[in-house]
């Protein structure tokens, strides 16, 4: 293992009924890095993140900031600094941008104004649209709002599930640029992406998940050059 890691996962198993979707995953995330998990549809990426945040039960070890949080309730993990941005964004479409952001701060009521100021500084587009209903935002704006809402909880470890899903290439570039800026401002990121090339380009380290377990891992630049990764995940 990596003794100084912010997140250390050992032999993690997650099942839906009798079917295991995550079958013994080991991974670690060093503080201050972006670590990406890539893999095909159904490899278990979303299931892994759901278990890490506590939305699904699991077996094994999830060591975050030095303690095993595997059996800790989801809200306690959020209070301890883990936050998930789910794949389908799960915004409240008939509420405004600002109200959606305020809901993200439920563990941090004291810091509401400074939290909003920080999110609007990072996402000027959301400031312009703060009274707009979330359901009327573009796909890219909705992803910014989902990330902004997660930031309202002041995360140390951001778990990001497919932030580029359904977005045009230029918007994907903007979103991943924002993720890199978050890392540079001290937020550690575990990034799940199908858009493997773009994810590895901003990552420090990467894991390839296949059939619920880690098939390959390494520094992101090395994975991006690995012929097996290129052939299977980077489109030749």
Stretch that binds ligand ATP, among 37-45, 57-65, 77-85, 90-98 (CB under 6 A): 37-45
Provide, rounded to whole angstroms, the least separation between the CB of residue 40 and ligand ATP: 7
Distance, CA of 44 to CA of 41 (rounded, Å)? 8
Distance, CA of 29 to CA of 187 (rounded, Å)? 12
Provide, rounded to whole angstroms, the least separation between the CB of residue 52 and ligand ATP: 12
Provide, rounded to whole angstroms, the least separation between the CB of residue 74 and ligand ATP: 16
C-alpha distances (whole Å) from 234 to each of 38, 161, 177, 190, 191 are 10, 19, 20, 19, 16
Stretch that binds ligand ATP, among 38-46, 116-124, 133-141, 218-226 (CB under 6 A): 38-46
Binding mask 8-27 for ligand ATP (x = CB under 6 A): --------x----x------
- 3-state DSSP assignment of residue 220: helix
Please, is 152 exposed, middle or buried when counting C-beta atoms within 10 Å of its C-beta (0-12, 13-18, 19+)?
buried
Indicate which single residue of 39, 140, 148, 206 sits in contact with ligand ATP (rule: CB under 6 A).
39
Q: Which of 96, 201, 84 is nearest to 151 (CA)?
A: 84
Backbone angles phi, psi at 220, to 5 degrees: -55, -40
Q: By C-beta, is 41 or 185 nearer to ligand ATP?
A: 41
Indicate which single residue of 28, 36, 46, 232 sits in contact with ligand ATP (rule: CB under 6 A).
46
Q: By C-beta, is 3 or 16 nearer to ligand ATP?
A: 16
Q: Is 180 left (phi over 0), alpha (psi -120 to 50) or beta?
A: alpha
Stretch that binds ligand ATP, among 36-44, 115-123, 149-157, 179-187 (CB under 6 A): 36-44
- In the region spanning residues 99 to 128, those forming contacts with ligand ATP, defined by CB under 6 A, are none
Indicate which single residue of 47, 58, 143, 195 sits in contact with ligand ATP (rule: CB under 6 A).
47
- 3-state DSSP assignment of residue 15: strand
Indicate which single residue of 9, 27, 33, 45 sits in contact with ligand ATP (rule: CB under 6 A).
45
Q: Which of 125, 129, 128, 134 is nearest to 104 (CA)?
A: 134
Provide, rounded to whole angstroms, the least separation between the CB of residue 42 and ligand ATP: 4
Where does this chain bind ligand ATP (CB under 6 A)? 16, 21, 39, 41-47, 194
């Amino acid at each position: 293992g990596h003794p100084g890691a912010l997140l250390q996962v050992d032999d993690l198993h997650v099942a839906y009924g009798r079917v295991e979707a995550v079958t013994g995953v080991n991974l670690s995330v060093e503080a201050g890095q972006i670590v990406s998990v890539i893999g095909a549809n159904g490899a278990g990426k979303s299931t892994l993140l759901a278990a890490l945040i506590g939305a699904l039960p699991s077996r094994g070890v999830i060591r975050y900031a030095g303690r095993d949080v595997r059996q800790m309730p989801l809200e306690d993990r959020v209070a301890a600094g883990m936050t998930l941005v789910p794949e389908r964004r799960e915004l409240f479409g008939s509420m405004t941008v600002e109200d959606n952001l305020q809901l993200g701060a439920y563990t941090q009521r004291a810091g509401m104004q400074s939290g909003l100021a920080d999110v609007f500084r990072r996402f000027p587009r959301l400031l312009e649209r703060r009274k707009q209903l979330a359901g009327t935002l573009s796909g890219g704006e909705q992803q910014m709002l989902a990330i902004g809402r997660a930031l309202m909880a002041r995360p140390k470890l951001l778990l990001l599930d497919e932030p580029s899903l359904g977005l045009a290439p230029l918007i994907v570039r903007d979103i991943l640029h924002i993720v890199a800026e978050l890392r540079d401002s001290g937020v550690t990121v575990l990034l799940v992406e199908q858009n493997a090339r773009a994810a590895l380009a901003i990552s420090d380290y990467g894991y390839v998940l296949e059939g619920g377990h880690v098939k390959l891992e390494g520094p992101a630049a090395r994975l991006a050059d690995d012929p097996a990764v290129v052939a299977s995940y980077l489109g030749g």
